[in-house]
Amino acid sequence: MKQAAPITVQQHILEAQRRRYPNASGEFSWLLSGITLATKIIASVVQRAGLNDIVGALSHSNVQGETVQKLDVLANQALLHCLGGRGNVAVMASEEDEQPIVVERDREHGHYVVVFDPLDGSSNIDVNVSVGTIFSILRRPPDPTVTREPLADVLQPGHRQVAAGYVVYGSSTMLVYTTGEGVYGFTLDPTIGAFLLSHDHITMPAHGNLYSVNEANADGFPEPYRRFLARLRSGATGRTYSSRYIGSLVADFHRTLLKGGVFLYPPTTQHPGGKLRLMYEGNPIAFLAEQAGGVATDGRGRILDVKPTGLHQRTPLLVGSREEMGLLMGMLREDAPPV
């Protein structure tokens, strides 16, 4: 039997574009190719980090108050360089930078805004744990002018994303993305330097047997979350669950996407508003989850409906299979105060 020819991510994007938008200019696929180029650079640097003395922390913190890792800087620079030269990006916003970055030569005519976490979980690099890049693409609101405030271009609710995805740098390098018509996964073949389709139309299982949460913080969780975890552990659902927590959002969500179950980063006593960032963590992860048939909420409502008020706004993130998420949301509703 003749083996089918491999499909690269560029081929996949162009074919999808031809089907949906036969008169498209190719600008969007050109933008996505900038992201794939940057993540190939990052993958190469990550693989050689221990040999090139680029593991470990720098002496300063980022806007989040977190210690900056050497690889954070390199990953951020790779994305800014590759996207800044695309010719159709007006504004970029990174976890590592306090304010959005305006692409001056394309400020008036650029059609897209790209928001990203350049290296999620970078503190794990020193111990060789999987890390990742998360990105979100928004269309710039119409009627732009050179005087328009760039932050206004960025602060759009998640349901306006035109694409989102992540790259996980692990035993293999894998890109997972959506443009609103399903979720697809591509594995980097290092022998030819191309992302090849390896996971066609990913669907999150309706239920799983894994839950992922930092249980060391459980004493600070609101009561419904503690009851939910106790119920999973007790076997009361009719299913035996195991706990799996890596501490890299991309890696933890990637497992949940493929295997089902639930990932929780709830509010805590120390962080009552949540700790993950809405714009470049919560929104892209929620978009991917919903496109794969899962559910994502902040505990009050749909993540993608939250109207952002700040670039580095934080949020709780509860995401996973419909069965586990249905149980959790029911318990949260029971605990909600009467209206």
Closest CA to 315 of 269, 270, 281, 338: 281
CA distances, 230 to each of 62, 221, 233, 256, 262 (Å)? 36, 12, 5, 19, 14
State the Cα–Cα distance between residues 172 and 180, nearest whole angstrom: 25
pLDDT at 174 over 50: yes
What is the CATH architecture of 9-201?
2-Layer Sandwich (3.30)
**What is the rounded distance in angstroms from the CA atom of residue 42 to the CA atom of residue 45?**
5
Question: For residue 23, what pLDDT band results from cuts at 50, 70 and 90?
Answer: low
Sketch the domain layout of the chain as residue ranges. Answer: 9-201, 210-335
More confident residue, 208 or 87: 208
The 8-class DSSP code of residue 317 comes to E
Torsional sign, CA 238, 240, 243, 248 = negative
Residue 146 φ then ψ, to 5°: -65, -15
Is the pLDDT assigned to residue 190 strictly greater than 60? Answer: yes
3-state SS assignment for residue 326? helix
Scanning 222-321, the segments in alpha helix (DSSP H) are 223-234, 249-259, 283-291
What pLDDT was estimated at residue 29?
86
How far apart CA 278 and CA 284 sit, in angstroms, is: 9
Residue 243 makes CB contacts below 8 A (sequence gap 6+) with 210, 211, 212, 213, 215
Buried b (16+ CB within 10 A) or exposed e, 221-246: bbebbebbbeebeeeeeeeebeebbb
Between 335 and 204, whose confidence is greater? 204
* Domain pair 9-201 / 210-335, same fold: no
With CA atoms as reference, report the closest residue to 241 among 278, 211, 199.
Answer: 211
pTM (2 d.p.): 0.92
Range in 1-15, 189-203, 231-245, 315-329 the model is least confident about: 1-15
State how far the Cα of 186 lies from the Cα of 292, in Å rounded to an integer: 15
Distance CA 320, CA 212 (A): 10
pLDDT beyond 90 at 218: yes
Confidence of residue 80 (pLDDT cuts 50, 70, 90): very high
How far CA 315 is from CA of 72, 151, 306, in Å, comes to 22, 19, 10
Buried b (16+ CB within 10 A) or exposed e, 36-46: bbbbbbbbbbb
- Cα distances from 156 to residues 69, 114, 179, in angstroms, run 29, 12, 16
Residue 125: is its pLDDT beyond 90? no
Q: Judge whether 39 and 47 are in contact, CB under 8 Å.
A: no
- Band the pLDDT of 64: cuts 50, 70, 90: low
The yes/no answer on whether domain 210-335 falls in CATH 3.40.190.80 is yes
* Radius of gyration for the chain, computed over Cα atoms and rounded to the nearest angstrom: 20
Closest CA to 321 of 251, 264, 278: 264
The residues facing 19 across adjacent strands are none
Averaged over 191-210, what is the pLDDT?
A: 96
